[in-house]
Homo-oligomer: A and B are copies of this chain.
Amino acid sequence: MTKKIGKRATIRDVAKAAGVSIKTVSRVFNDEPNVRDEIREKVRQVGQQLSYHPNVAARNLARRRSHLIGLFFENPSPAYVTELQMGALKRLRGTGYRLLIFPVEDRADIRGAMVSTVYASGLDGVIVTPPMCDDPVILEELLASHLPFVRVAGDTSVHGTGSVVIDDEAAAFDLAEYVLRLGHRRVAIVIGDETHRSARLRLMGFRRALQAAGIEPEPAMEIQGAFTFQSGLEAGRRLLHHANRPTAILASNDDMAAGVLQAAHELRIPVPQKLSIVGFDDTALAQMVWPQLTTIRQPIFEMAERAADILLKQIEKGVASETAKLSYDLVIRSSAGEAPTG
């Protein structure tokens, strides 16, 4: 009669069919008070019959909220990215907020386009990860826009921005110290993509540990990588072909550690008997290679979950973005052992 065939039922169709006003229907579908149970029931029933679903766009327009969160990332490790997504999604579950993903291939593309992208997608807020989240241009743009945003592993010293971090420097120090305690004196590092703040911090922690142990820094023992398996493989080959090769190699993430491990296998160097290798992050990959990686567990899932939590508070309650520091753990497995004697 009133409902046109082939079109989705609207709030008006339901109101008419149930013999109430649209406001009452609205109340029912938003679980608001001031509706008699009897009528509430009736409206629900009619809604069901007409298979009514509130129109999201209309609701968003009236409420001025899209319930859309964007996750921007630029990370070569699938395991890392998945953790990030699942963590954020865990916090979002049951809130009505949804997650949109924005993998960024080229940072240059996103510089100056971040805010437009957010507007164009109608996002209520964004979660940003390294290295973007420490890029001054992007950060400035975000700050100026007054859009709600949080960062995962972003520099906490930036004023007025929230970030969920671990102490990368201390973690790298602890990891290096562990290796040194095993008796290694010739230890190398494969540095992560240097535009990542964490890569720099990890390098600092490493250097501090060596210094504390009285070991002279040596440029040849610091190789630049890019957080990818491939870069780890190449770095490993270079280090292991070195005339006076290291007995231990620290990689700035697990993917690169797996690459170094593969280089060791290629050269038939037994791990950990002749060479110790350690990673960082404790992603799923750390347990999939052989021997399993000794590494630092960075709680990526929890960090993302926490970031989403902070963001939601910011969006819904206008609470200023807070910063949180989570703890890390040294996870001892079998890829690192005592330094070879002789």
Contacts and interface: CB of A to CB of B under 8 A. Distances in A.
Contacts of A83: 78
A76 to B, nearest CB: 10
A261 B61 CA distance: 54
Given A100-B100, A284-B229, A122 B57 contact: yes
So how many copies of this chain end up in the complex? 2
Interface stretch (A188-196, A286-294, A305-313): A286-294
Given A85-B101, A99-B100, A101-B85, A287 B229 contact: yes
B53 A57 contact: no
Contacts of A64: 57
Contact of A119 (B53, B60, B261): B53
Contacts of A53: 116, 119-120
Contacts of A122: 55-57, 60
Interface string A275-287: 0000000001101
B89 A82 contact: no
Contacts of A99: 100-101
Interface in A88-106: 89, 96, 98-101, 103
Nearest to A52: B119
A289 to B, nearest CB: 6
Contact of A103 (B78, B81, B89, B98): B89
Contacts of A58: 61
A45 interface: no
Interface in A161-178: none
Interface string A120-151: 11100000000000000000000000000000
Contacts of A288: 229, 255, 258-259, 262, 285, 288-289
Contacts of A96: 120
Contacts of A85: 101, 103
A265 interface: yes
A86 interface: yes
* The 3 nearest A-B residue pairs measured at CB: A56-B122, A53-B119, A57-B60
